[in-house]
Amino acid sequence: MNNIKIKNLSLRYGKKQVLKNINQEIEEKKITAIIGPSGCGKSSLLRCINRMNELIPESRVDGEILFHNKNIYDADTDITEVRQKIGMVFQKANPFPKSIYDNVAYGLRINGTKDKKKITAIVERTLHDCGLLKEVKDRLNTSAIQLSGGQQQRLCIARALAIEPEIILMDEPCSALDPSSTFKIEELMVKLKERYTVIIVTHNMQQAARASDITGFLYMGELIEYGDTNTLFTNPKEKLTEDYISGNFG
Amino acid sequence: MYIKKVFKTGSPYIWLSGGTLTISLLMIFGLITLIMIKGLGIFWPHNITRLMLNDNSVVLGEVAKVEPIPNNKGSYRTKLKVGNRDIYGMDFRWVDNSRIIYQDSPITALTIERREWGNMYGFLKGMKHDNTVEPLSLDDLKPLLKESKTLYKSIRHTEKKEIGKINHKMEKLRLALKSLESAPQSDNAIEEIGSINTKVETLERLYTEKVDTLTNLYASTKEKEVVIELADGREETLSIFQIVRIYEPNHMGIYAKSRFYVLKFWEFVSAEPREANTEGGVFPAIFGTVIMVLIMSLAVTPLGVITAVFLREYTSDNIFSRIVRISVNNLAGVPSIVFGVFGLGFFIYFIGGGIDKLFYSEALPTPTFGTGGILWASLTLALLTVPVVVVATEEGISSVPNSLKEASYGLGATKFETLWRITLPQATPGILTGMILAMARAAGEVAPLMITGVVKLAPSLPLDSYSPFIHLERKFMHLGFHIYDVGFQSPNVEAALPMVYTTTLILILTVLVLNLVAIIARNKLRKKYATSAL
């Protein structure tokens, strides 16, 4: 089963071509990792999937991304609905300068949930799912800014989960974290794939190898190789992939 | 070579910038100190000096200044405040020190603050009874003064409150009558006109009654008179009602003087002005300034914030937005009187005149909103300060981290939701900074106010107990204009000069308090929205 199909996707920032003709099918309830050297377009590809690229002026997308067999770049697509269904976690933890509770409730509130009991229940459940509830139970109303970096990132994941997306995009979520926080997040990812489709961009190849089911290797805006993680790491088909994973460049 | 090396280290520049900063600070402190010295001294009860001159004349008054006579070494002259403007024709007199034969400070010398004609200096002779003078001590005078104070209060009450209320009602009935008469006649209308007429009659009867009481009250003010002996032995009768305050400064100790000082200062900030603003307090001016600044902030903040949001968030960098931005920034350089003229033409004649035609047509040709008033003055100042708010808000908005906006968009928020829930709250400290600067600018602006509604003496405050309580069409008093008026337009400029300094001090304090409130609010918000505690 797959619920995202990327078809002939190209992306330009002004005159600069960032992605060239990407074709990829993302499998449901699996962790898909996208690896590649810096500047190869990994993050741009990820941001195309929930149309976050449109926030960058002069960006232009050609091709299609089908979500439930509907092109999200169609003129009649509701962009906010796309972003609700396809949540995102960013490279640097970016909690709002509000309380922990309000951070998680933010998405619910803008989507019109008014019932306080319901909001509280969801907040507690998602915090629990992210393993954060135990740590912050007594200070849900204190500022999220006071949490540690790893806690902040897990809070951001909880915030994205609260509005029940189907897909979670993670843009190098661990690049600013220490190993133990990274470990916690990887654990969380594995737990999440029971219910969600996870797409993660990372430059950490060990992380991709450890946590993902499927890996894509992106180089200079092109998808060089895409397939089962174990196969890709142990027996790559392409010479470029082999060079990259063995550390010959990148 | 050596000099080059020194300049390379950069320390000369540090010294230069430090030096200019110090000079600026010193100048500011010097300014404030000067104003404080000149302004705070006037409430202190100065001693009275009696001078006997070589032509055997005697003068009595406060020594205002002693200065050397130019081109005549070793000789001095004294400026004496002799008061009694109604008798001498002037408040001050210069005396060459060489003419003084004898000088003393009699303890029984009195300073008498009067409701009219300024201070009087002299000695209490006694109470006047028909044509005889009965001796009277200062202590015996006190209860009489108290009596006259109650009398004054009841006169004010009748004049302002009771007759004011009747006038207010009469005006309303008159307008109702006028609009009924101009409408097509019907039985109903005729009936109503009749009922209004009876109401008017009752009010008129009430009015005559009140005027009678007032006449009686005024008559009783002339009943009791005291006789004051002036320095040269002349005797003057003075109605007790005319006395605001009477005291013997030469007899007062430091404690009594301090108490007097505090009371006088309190009168200054809490009472209404007397005698063409040269005596009494400045309360209406403080009130007018504060209300005007508040209305101005209420108007300028939304205007400036919406403009800034539009420029920052809803337009990209194109020719149109550049033109708008340049225009806004250039507005800051337009002379303020030009804004005043614009306010007069646009707000008062166009909008105010339009409102009058639509809603107050029965009062025409007397304008209600079509003349200067606190609302129009505030709006004019709001236009004047819009650039400040726009620039500060833009800065505030641009300081909101992009990652926060992205997080909000990523959760399915629209542009407006992100703006409302993330960007604007984050930019609030910046917006408040703009407001603080706008308030400081607006509170000190006088020129545009002079043609949009400020007056020398406003009969009533823009806020009172008659519905609708806030009277935005009313003219108002302003501290800045008050300074100009007292200092340059009053009949007695020399005597009023210390008031100029004190009023300046009050203006500075008012601006300071307004700004402090805003700054405290801003700092609280800043703490709340700090994006990083790591």
- The 10s digit of each residue's pLDDT in B490-522 is 777 777 788 888 889 999 888 888 888 888 888
Mode of pairing for the β-strands spanning A214-219 and A31-35: parallel
Q: What is the pLDDT of residues B438-451, one digit of tens each?
A: 988 888 889 999 88
Taking residues A100-106, what's their average pLDDT? 90
What is the per-residue pLDDT for B22?
96
CB B488 within 8 A of CB B496: no
What's the pLDDT at B534?
37
Closest by Cβ to A55, choosing from B409, B422, B531 = B409
**3-class DSSP assignment, residue A35:** strand
- For residue B45, say if its preceding peptide bond is cis, omega within 30 degrees of 0: no
Instruction: Read off the tokens for A61.
Output: 């997308």
Cβ neighbors of B72 (< 8 A, separation 6 or more) are none
CA–CA distance, B92 with B84 (Å, rounded to integer): 10
Quick one: pLDDT at residue B392?
92
Tell whether the model's pLDDT for residue A246 goes beyond 50: yes
* Rg, chain A, Cα only: 18
Region B23-48: mean pLDDT is 89
User: Which residue of B402, B403, B405, B411 is the best one to mutate when testing the A interface, meaning the one whose CB has the most A CBs within 10 A?
Assistant: B411
Residue B530 to chain A, least CA–CA distance (Å):
7
Which CATH architecture group holds A2-245?
3-Layer(aba) Sandwich (3.40)
B110-114 and A70-71 beta bridge pairing: unpaired
Band (B533; pLDDT cuts 50, 70, 90): very low
Predicted confidence at residue B467, as pLDDT, reads: 67
The chain B residue lying nearest A153, using CA atoms, is B407
Provide the token pair at A201: 């961009």
DSSP B455: -
Q: What average pLDDT score do residues A36-63 get?
A: 86
Q: Is the pLDDT of residue B40 over 60?
A: yes
φ and ψ at residue A227, rounded to 5 degrees? 175, -170
Distance CA B79, CA B64 (A): 5
Residue B505 placed within a domain: yes
Instruction: Identify the pLDDT of residue B367.
Output: 77
Check residue B295 and give its pLDDT.
92
Task: Burial-class residue B300 by CB neighbours within 10 Å (0-12, 13-18, 19+).
Answer: buried
- Domains: count for chain B: 1
Per-residue pLDDT, B532: 47
Q: Which pLDDT does position B239 carry in this prediction?
A: 83
Could you give the CA distance from residue B31 to residue B43 in angstroms, rounded to a whole number? Answer: 20
Measuring CA to CA, which residue among B294, B293, B292, B329 is closest to residue B308?
B329
Phi, psi at B64, each rounded to 5°: -95, -35
Q: β-pairing, B119-129 with A167-171?
A: unpaired
Task: Give the CATH number, domain containing residue B386.
Answer: 1.10.3720.10
Question: Is B466's pLDDT higher than 90?
Answer: no
Nearest 5°: the CA angle B90, B94, B99 is 135
Establish if B126 belongs to a structural domain. no
C-alpha separations of B103 from A28, A206, B48, B80, B152 in Å: 108, 102, 11, 13, 38
Q: Which residues contact A59 (CB under 8 A, 6 or more apart)?
A: A11, A12, A13, A53
> Which of A52, A159, A160 is closest, CB to CB, to B406?
A52
pLDDT digits (tens, 9 = 90+) for B150-202: 888 888 888 877 887 888 788 788 877 777 777 666 777 777 777 888 888 88
Q: Between chains, do B406 and A107 touch, taking CB under 8 Å as contact? A: no
Contact partners, residue A46, CB within 8 Å, separation at least 6: A34, A88, A169, A171, A199, A201
pLDDT in tens, B68-111: 888 888 888 888 888 888 888 788 888 888 888 888 888 888 88
Would you state the pLDDT for residue B378?
93
Q: How large is the average pLDDT for residues B481-486?
A: 88
Inter-chain touch A96–B422, beta carbons under 8 Å: yes
Query: Is B397 part of any domain?
Result: yes
Chains A, B: CB pairs < 8 Å: 70
List Cβ neighbours of A129 (8 Å cut-off, separation of 6 or more). A158, A161, A191, A192
pTM of the model: 0.81
B532 touches chain A (CB under 8 A): yes
d(CA B505, CA B483): 10
| Residues pairing with B111 in the sheet | B121, B247
> To the nearest whole angstrom, how far is the Cα of B308 from the nearest Cα of chain A?
19
Here the tokens at position B472 are 């935005």
The predicted pLDDT at position A173 comes to: 86
Report the percentage of chain B scoring pLDDT > 70. Answer: 98
Q: What's the confidence (pLDDT) of residue B184?
A: 67
Indicate the average pLDDT of chain B.
Answer: 84
pLDDT of the residue at B373: 86
CA distance A168 to B246: 85
H/E segment holding residue A179:
helix A179-192
Look at B407 and A159 and tell me if their CB atoms are within 8 Å.
yes
Task: Give, for A45, the enclosing helix (H) or strand (E).
Answer: helix A42-49
Residue B87 lies in a domain: no
Q: Is B378 on the interface with A (CB under 8 A)?
A: no
In degrees rounded to 5, what are phi and psi of residue A22? Answer: -85, 135
* Side chain identity, residue A247: G
Pairwise pLDDT comparison (B117 vs B285), residue with the higher score: B285
Contacts of B191 (CB under 8 A, 6+ apart): none
The pLDDT value recorded for residue B305 is: 93
Q: Cα distance from B404 to chain A (closest Cα, Å)?
A: 6
Structural domain includes residue B465: yes
DSSP labels, A63-127: EEEEETTEETTSTT--HHHHHHHEEEE-SS----SSBHHHHHHHHHHHTT---HHHHHHHHHHHH
> Tokens 């619920």 sit at which residue?
A3
The C-alpha angle with vertex B463 and arms to B459 and B466, in degrees rounded to 5, equals 85
User: What does the alpha-carbon distance between residue B65 and residue B47 come to, in Å, rounded to a whole number?
Assistant: 13
Query: Mean per-residue pLDDT for A26-32?
Result: 87
Those residues whose C-beta lies under 8 Å from the C-beta of residue B502, and which sit 6 or more positions away, are B39, B40, B42, B43, B268
Give the C-alpha separation, B78 to B66, whole Å.
4
Q: How far apart are CA B387 and CA A221, in angstroms?
A: 45
Q: What is the DSSP letter of A224?
A: E
| pLDDT for residue B177 | 78
Contacts of A84 in chain B (CB under 8 A): 411-412
Give mean pLDDT, residues A171-175. Answer: 86
| pLDDT in the model for residue A2 | 58
Q: If you average pLDDT over residues B18-31, what whole number do you get?
A: 95
Q: Write out the residue range of the structural domain in which residue B503 sits.
A: 283-528
pLDDT digit string (tens) for A192-210? 888 889 999 988 888 888 8
Q: How many residues does chain B have?
A: 534
Residue of A nearest to B315 (CA): A57
Average pLDDT over residues B115-131: 82
Q: Is the ipTM of this complex over 0.90?
A: no
Cβ contacts of B528 on chain A, cutoff 8 Å = 97
Residue B298: pLDDT band with limits 50, 70, 90: very high
Has residue A181 got a pLDDT over 80? Answer: yes
**Percent of chain B with pLDDT strictly greater than 90:** 13
**Does residue B211 have a pLDDT over 90?**
no
Vertex B405 angle, CA B400 and B410, to 5°: 165
CA distances from B310 to A59, B320, B397, B409 (A): 22, 12, 11, 18
For chain B, say whether A160 makes contact (Cβ under 8 Å): yes
Higher pLDDT: B389 or B139? It is B389
Task: Tell me whether residue B24 is exposed, middle or buried, using C-beta atoms within 10 angstroms of its C-beta: 0 to 12, 13 to 18, 19 or more.
Answer: exposed
